[in-house]
Amino acid sequence: MKKLFTVAIAVLFSASPVLRAELREWTRAADGKKISAKYVGMKDGATVQIKMANGNQFDVPLTGLSEADREFIKVLNAGDKREMATAAGDAAKTAIPEGETTVTLSGVHLSCSECEEAIMGISAGAGVKYVVDSGAGTVTITAPSGKVAQTAVGAVSRIGFYGVSDNPSIKIPDLKDEEFMSDTMRVRGVQLFCRKCIKEFEKAVDSVKGVEKVEAKIGARTIQVSGDQFDCNAVIKALREAGFAATFS
């Protein structure tokens, strides 16, 4: 029965910020006397701070409260600790490393030797190393620090290649989640070295609803796309999914 009571408390009081703002009945263990007040917090680990509706605040010994009240506080504080641990974990995941850093971009458009050579030819500073695996569609970057690694990742994007990073703190910036409807657009910044590059580019662009014509040529850095009220951002997103980084105008 006690276990079921604890589970019920956990479910009912999982949203700690809301619970802190709500009045509840507190019961004195000695005589069962009740008082309506808001939970403020703990003091020195042994004293409960509560505030009445009129604004008066009191310190109450934890041992002087009922078992239900003590269980309520235990569950509430456990939730706070979980939230703090989660926030700390998220911050650690997104913190840019200070020392040597390795980042792998996957899903990169690498359909020919020219694609590989273009990435290998990037100059992103001393100590930066690019390893290209065309078969796997990956580019692995090793740099002396996280900041340098971010610069190296940005350099890959600037010459027209996109990949999903395995490091959440070092990646090509996400696209804004918005629509930009038009009948025409100019896609810029891509690398089209061969017929296979063009085929993959056209397949990605043609997958967007409303696109009717793509004028892609080998060596072109600007490609005209036309149709009937299509989403330009959806085109860029489709290109990213195919491993191309691009902008448009």
The pLDDT, as a whole number, for residue 19 is 46
Q: What is the DSSP string of 62-128?
A: GGGB-HHHHHHHHHHHHHHHHHHHHHHHHHHHHSPPSS-EEEEEES----SHHHHHHHHT----TT-
Q: What is the pLDDT of residues 101-134, one digit of tens each?
A: 999 999 999 999 999 999 999 987 789 999 999 9
User: With contact defined as beta carbons under 8 Å apart, do 7 and 75 qualify?
Assistant: no
CATH number given to 2-94? 2.30.30.700
The pLDDT, as a whole number, for residue 93 is 54
**Which residues, at least 6 apart from 144, have a Cβ–Cβ distance to it below 8 Å?**
99, 100, 101, 126, 127, 128
**Start and end residues for every CATH 2.30.30.700 domain found in the chain:** 2-94
The pLDDT, as a whole number, for residue 42 is 82
112, two tokens: 């020919």
- C-alpha–C-alpha distance, residues 61 and 169, integer Å: 45
**Start and end residues for every CATH 3.30.70.100 domain found in the chain:** 101-165, 181-248
CA atoms within 13 A on the CB side of 38: 15
The pLDDT, as a whole number, for residue 234 is 95
**Strands of the sheet with 211-215, listed across from one edge:** 211-215, 222-231, 181-188, 247-248
Tell me the CA distances in angstroms from 249 to 76, 102, 111, 221, one per residue in order.
52, 34, 26, 13
Q: What is the pLDDT of residues 7-42, one digit of tens each?
A: 433 433 344 444 455 788 889 888 888 888 888 888
CATH level 2 (architecture), domain 101-165: 2-Layer Sandwich (3.30)
**Which residues, at least 6 apart from 148, have a Cβ–Cβ distance to it below 8 Å?**
101, 124, 125, 127, 128
The pLDDT, as a whole number, for residue 86 is 56
The pLDDT, as a whole number, for residue 74 is 80
User: What is the block-wise mean pLDDT of the chain (249 residues), using blocks of 10 residues?
Assistant: 42 43 81 87 82 83 87 74 54 70 95 94 87 95 94 94 94 88 95 95 96 94 94 96 94
- φ, ψ for residue 60 (rounded to 5)? -125, 130
The pLDDT, as a whole number, for residue 156 is 95
CATH number given to 181-248? 3.30.70.100
The pLDDT, as a whole number, for residue 53 is 80
